[in-house]
Each structure stands twice: as structure tokens, then as C-alpha cells.
Chains A and B, each alone.
Chain A
Amino acid sequence: MKFSIYRFNPEKDEKPYMQDFDVTLQPTDRMLLDAILRIKAMDDSLGLRKSCREGVCGSDGMNINGKNGLACITALKDLKEPVVLRPLPGLPVIRDLIVDMSQFFKQYHSVKPYLITETPPPQKERLQSPEDREELNGLYECVLCACCSTSCPSFWWNPDKFVGPAGLLQAYRFIADTRDEATSERLDNLEDPYRLFRCHTIMNCADVCPKGLNPTEAIGKIKEQMVKRMV
């Protein structure tokens, strides 16, 4: 199978280039990650992150034939050749397919992604109805792979000011949690021309999320809550 892979080693290369590989696959190679590892066995200098190989750790986000995704759960049979692999767009490249995620995590941290409560907790668990718990479905499952944020034009232009879809999804995860007691503080934190309102509902994010989550919808709900509290 034919591949064309983005290469850049800052110690050697003045600028990035695309390198072609032709690799013989085994019948057990099902996912893109399997193929990349065959390539890496031939050329150990190819840099990428990987860990769980089952789509739950979020390590191997990359741009695959023009679309962001996780290599370990992208089936080879669905890919057109040559398979073009590039690092996630919009973030500084450290090496090959490895990008610097600092900006992405900074935005994630900026939404205070943890439960905030004033009321002291009870002896046992806080109670929450199954219906209220269901509100968190489609939010808490995020694996922080950055596929969404790095496909969002608004994030490309303003990675320092716009929280981006992944961060906003998590912001809403805590707004939606009936146990959290900081909703208005959270909304204040986002009430800003950039942090939330740079989202122009372009939907790229929901389109690429390998976990099938929908940041656009969550962003919509945050906006709704802002409107609600104004009236």
C-alpha cells in the first residue's frame, strides 16, 4: 500500500517535505496505525505518538487524506491511495507527525475543567437522577485528541484567544452537570468576543470527531444559556 508522509526533523531539515513509502501489509493489518508501524519498522526515525491502539487515549490524531482522525481506529480499507498523512494542522510541528499541543491544553485548562461546588459534599455520593446524568453523555467521552480544534478555522486564526471546540465541549460538560455550582462564573469566563463567539458554526469539528461527539451542539447550548440569563 502506498503512503505519502510529512517529514520534518528540526535538527536536519531546513523545511518539511513529503516522503513516499510503499509497504507490504499483512492480513492482520486492519487499521492505519498497523500500517504506520510497518513503515516505522523500516524507518525508525518516523515520529508519531501512539498508545492505546483502540481509540480511547487520543494520542494518534493526525491529518489523514485531508481529514483529521485517529490512526488506530481508521480502517485501511476505507482509505484512498496514496494515503497522505500530515500532522494536525494549525499547531507547531515538533517533528514529523508530532505537534506541540501546549496551546490546545492551555485552552482546555482555561475553562476550569473540574467540578466546582460550594456546598459541602454529603457523607455518601451526591445524588443525581439518571435523566440529569444523561445530559453528560456526548460530552464526558472526549479523549482530547484535538482533531476538532485543529480542523476549526477560527482556532487556526486565534489559538490563543478562541477556546476552540474541544475546550468548549468540556466547558459545557460542567455547565450541564447538575452537581456543579459555578454555571454563572463559567458563563462569565466565556462572555468575550473571542473565547466563545469566534465560533461561526462551520461544523468542521463535529464532522471530524472520531468519537462521534458534537462540539457545535454544545457550543450552541452555551450560547443559549447566555441568552437566557440576559433576559
Chain B
Amino acid sequence: MALPKQTFDAVIVGGGGSGLRAALQLSEAGHHVAVFSKVFPTRSHTVAAQGGIGASLGNMQEDHWLWHMYDTIKGSDYLGDQDAIEFMCRKAAEVVYELEHFGMPFDRNADGTIYQRPFGGHSQNFGERPVQRACAAADRTGHAMLHTLYQRNVRARCQFFVEWMALDLIRDHEGAVVGLIALEMETGQVVIFQTKSVILATGGAGRIFQSSTNAFINTGDGLGIAARAGIPLEDMEFWQFHPTGVAGAGVLITEGVRGEGGILLNAQGERFMERYAPTMKDLASRDVVSRAMDQEIKEGRGVGHEKDHVLLKLDHLGAEVIQKRLPGIREIALKFANVDPIREPIPVVPTCHYQMGGIPTNYYGQVVVPRGDNPAEPVPGLYAIGECACVSVHGANRLGTNSLLDLLVFGKSAGDHLSQWLKGNPQQRDLPKDAADRTLARLDRLNQATTGENVAEVGLDMRRAVQQHAGVFRTGQLLSEGIDKIRVIAERARHTAIQDKSQVFNTARIEALELENLVIVAEATLVSAEARTESRGAQARDDFKERDDRNWLKHSLWSMEGSRLHYKPVNLQPLTVESFEPKVRVY
């Protein structure tokens, strides 16, 4: 079947913060770019980010990018690559100022500078005391940032393909990326895009968990697309559980609440974080706080009928601070927890929030894979940025505010790098004849199947299995049982049937395709976690409680073919400063 074809210099899959930042860089450099998004760009999940963007502007107290770098490395439990982390922390001020110049409505200090709030794990002078580093627009920082970036792209006349779902990459016989296959939701039409390059910016896959702060669209499509194209996935065992998801609803309450002075209490009204992290207390890094909460709940000091959550108290901040700095949080608490935080505490539990792993890249955003002796050889024409990428700046645990920063820094650097690369690679390569065959076969199967598994049910079973087998605390047995379960579920996902066979805006088809990506991510997660017999950052193994640098100071790489694992070293060598040697982490 001959599919319609269009041609571009660069195709960006994703209209969230990272995709839009890269699009801007390329459009302003005069390239012919297309940005694809499953939703209108401002509906991407970056819109939900609340707390802030990390940058050592020093508007509140003295600050330094080197301190930010240290905090990030320590936060990552030493699994982050120090070249990329230095790159990000040094660029932070520049990209935040740029965003301000684009029109971002940051909150302001009396002297007119950008307001910054404290956030977990960010400190002055290598861990001495908390520092105010998170550049904020009330508790709607992501919303303000995403809209600002979209607006700037409107100005740059960037071309958007809104409500298109990317399905697969096309690589030629040399492995170079030469095209993308995508589905227009409104018409159901499948189109081949011939392109010199693709940037994957598809965001996180937090929807593999039952309890998640992520949007419905966060289904790991970029990871599925990469894995199907033979790209391994890096460090997929590391999922961040955010300490404060609204109990029962999963909706996030930003760490900025604790930054502004909110505290966590157990059933006895005790501020238990003082016991677990004497210096940083409620502002210790997320893995530490989530584990402490889980421990309190396990030991019977949870709150509520089921003793299954703890409380986040902020009424002592006063109505004025809450209304001015945390208006969105108040709205969420009223709507989803039925409490007014001006008077009552909010019930919270650790909730899956962020995917530290992803498609392996270097700090130019180039996707890198092992080849011969080189553990990180760039794939020609392929880039990945944002939450779907693993640079790795977040290692085993991301610090709050470092993701929005990562979107800006690596969105920009990928745009710049690709812009240069296009100058040296002006030719479109030929598309292989069978370019779309496998994709069309998948779609065909869905169109033909009249009986089979129900997409919603398989999805629910997957989310339950991942939640149960790869939660805050893990054991080898739990994980290997989880792998067995997920393999059965993956098989079922290959045999789904949808009732709706129509072409126009068929959301059932979209959800079936998303499920195929989700189960790939779920399998990568369980397999990587089972193999890593240590505790590091977000991976907490009850059967291997210690970090094991001798054996495990390395990145996991999971390949879909045969579900195989291999490893590559962590880069402990920064660009210009001295290496931060792994140390025991105390907060």
C-alpha cells in the first residue's frame, strides 16, 4: 500500500517543554521543522509541573552552579554522569534568563528579580543548609513555562502537527534514522515523514503505575518507538516516588509546599523527618522522604481508617502565603482531598512521579548506543530529550526542579547540535522499501481482530502488577514474580481487540497502541530492577539494602530483543572541575 509522504529536515515528536524548546532553536535557525503532538502542545504534561526550575541565580542567598552540581550528583546517588550534570548546572542561569526574556511570568522579589524557593536536596556550600534555588511562577511554574514556550513558537512560526500520534521510526540499512510513521487522529490516516533527523521528546511513562501523578497521555510512546527500532533503554529500574501525591487521587502536591515551610506528620502528630534526615528534614531528597513515609506507614504510624497515609501540614504558613504562593495547591486540596489547607492538613502518600531512565543520550541530546568498544556511539540523525531521555543527569534519583531545567538545557543543546549536524548532512537519505510494513501490520491486526483482550482490562492488570511488584520497596522474589506476570500481560497486549473500527478520531485505537508501548516500559522496568542487586536512589531492595559501588556503579541497558541486559560505565569525569567521588549519602 502506498502511503502519503511528506519531507522535513527535522521532525520533533513531542510538544512538551523539551520538544518546544528544541523546536524554537531549530525554527529560529531557519530549518524546516515539524512538531508532532498527541495533544495540543499546551496540554502536554509539562503543564502540570508546579514547583520551580532549578538554577543558581543567587537571587535570595549566595549560590553557585558548583553547589547545584554537587547536590545533583549526590541526589543521583552517584549514578548521574558528571559531564552532563556540569553542563546542565552551568547552563541553568542562561536558560532561565532566556525564558524570562521570552515572557515567562516568574514571581518577583522586591528588587524585581526572579523569586526562588527552597526545594528538596538543594543546598548551599555542599550540603550545609537549604538554599532557595527553584525559580517559580506561583505553584504553576510548568503551566507558565509551557505556555511561554508555545507562544514563542507561534512567533517563530513553527509548524505543528497537532493530534498526531507517532508510531515508529524508520532506519536504513546503516542504522541511520531516515523517517517517521505517524497517524493523524482526526482522519485515521497514516503518513510517512521522510526526514534527515528525529528528536524524541515524548515525556514520561508514569502510567505504568496504578498510582501516578502522570497524565493519561504519559504512555512511554517514545520508549516503545525506540525499543522497537533496536535502541536499548537505560536505567529503567529507577522510578521516582514523589512523597506527596494526594492519597487516593494521585494528583501531585508540589515539594514547594515543604519548601515554603510545610511539614509531614505521622498519626502521632510527630514531625518524623527529623529522625530520618536531621539537617534537611522534610527537604531531604525524594527517595529518602518517600522511604521514610513508607516506613512510618509500615510501622503502624499511618493516618486514616486504613492507616495508609501521612499528613502534610501547612496551615501554619498562614492564609496569605498559601493564597499567594500556593494557590493551585489549595485548589487541588479542595477538589481532590476535600480539605482546605488553610485550616487542615492534606492526606498524602508516595506516588509514582518521574522516570529517571530512558533513551540513552549524550549532553547534545544525541541518542547513543554501544557499538564495538564504544559504549556510547551516536545513532545518526536520532536525538532524545526531556523525560523520555536518559542523559543521565538524574541518575538513580532526580532532584525536584531539575527536570524543567533539563528540558530547557537539553532542548536547546539538541536544537543547536542538530542545526549544526544538518549543515554537514544536507541530503535526505532514501527510505527502505519495506519502511512501513511492520507498523502497518500492527494496525492491520487491530483493524481485523474481532475478538480478543479488552484494552482497559489489560491496562489495569499491568498497572496493578507494576505497582505491586516494583513499588517503593522491592525484593528479588517480588520482582521475578512481577516479570512472570508482565510477560503474560505483554502477550495479552499483543492480542487486544477493539470494538470501534472507525477512522475518525478513534480513541480506542490510540489507547490500544499506547498499551503496546506501556508494556514494553513495564517489562524493561521489572527486568532491570530484578537484576540490580543493590539499593541506590529510587531503587530500594529489602534484600540488598546497601549501595554497592564495586559492582553496580554502572548504567543498565535493556534491549527489547530477547529482553537482554547489558551495562555501561557511569561517567565520573566532569568537563572542567574535579570529580565528585561517591560518598555515603546523609541529609
Contact = CB atoms under 8 A, between A and B. Distances in A.
Interface of A: 9-12, 28, 30, 40-41, 43-59, 73, 75, 94-95, 98, 101, 105, 109, 112-115, 117, 121, 123-130, 132-133, 136, 140-141, 143-144, 174, 177, 179-180
Contacts of A58: 40, 42-43
B126 interface: no
Contact of B108 (A28, A45, A48, A133): A133
A117 to B, nearest CB: 8
Given A44-B455, A52-B47, A56-B47, A124 B42 contact: no
Contact of A73 (B96, B100, B109, B335): B335
B186 interface: yes
B48 A126 contact: no
Nearest to B246: A54
B152 interface: yes
11 contacts: A30-B336, A40-B456, A44-B456, A49-B39, A52-B215, A109-B154, A115-B103, A121-B97, A127-B111, A129-B110, A133-B108
B499 A44 contact: yes
Given A30-B249, A41-B456, A98-B505, A115 B102 contact: yes
B53 to A, nearest CB: 12
B346 to A, nearest CB: 14
Contacts of B335: 55, 73, 75
Contacts of B499: 43-45
Interface residues of B, number: 61
A54 B154 contact: no
A48 B47 contact: no
B498 interface: yes
Given A51-B45, A52-B47, A94-B186, A140 B101 contact: no
Given A53-B216, A56-B48, A114-B154, A47 B108 contact: no
B113 interface: yes
A11 B105 contact: no
Contacts of A140: 105, 137, 144, 147
A133 B114 CA distance: 11
A126 B101 contact: yes
B100 to A, nearest CB: 4
Contacts of A132: 108
B108 A129 contact: yes
Interface of B: 39-40, 42-45, 47-48, 57, 93, 96-97, 100-103, 105-114, 137, 140, 143-144, 147, 151-152, 154-155, 186, 215-217, 248-249, 251, 328, 331-332, 335-336, 454-456, 498-500, 502-508, 511
A111 to B, nearest CB: 10
B40 A101 contact: yes
A140 to B, nearest CB: 5
Contacts of A117: 101
Contact of A130 (B110, B151, B503): B110
A129 B42 contact: no
Given A124-B97, A130-B110, 12 more contacts: A28-B248, A44-B507, A44-B508, A51-B45, A57-B215, A59-B40, A75-B335, A101-B40, A132-B108, A144-B40, A144-B42, A177-B103
Contact of B215 (A40, A53, A73): A53
A57 B47 contact: yes
Contacts of B111: 127
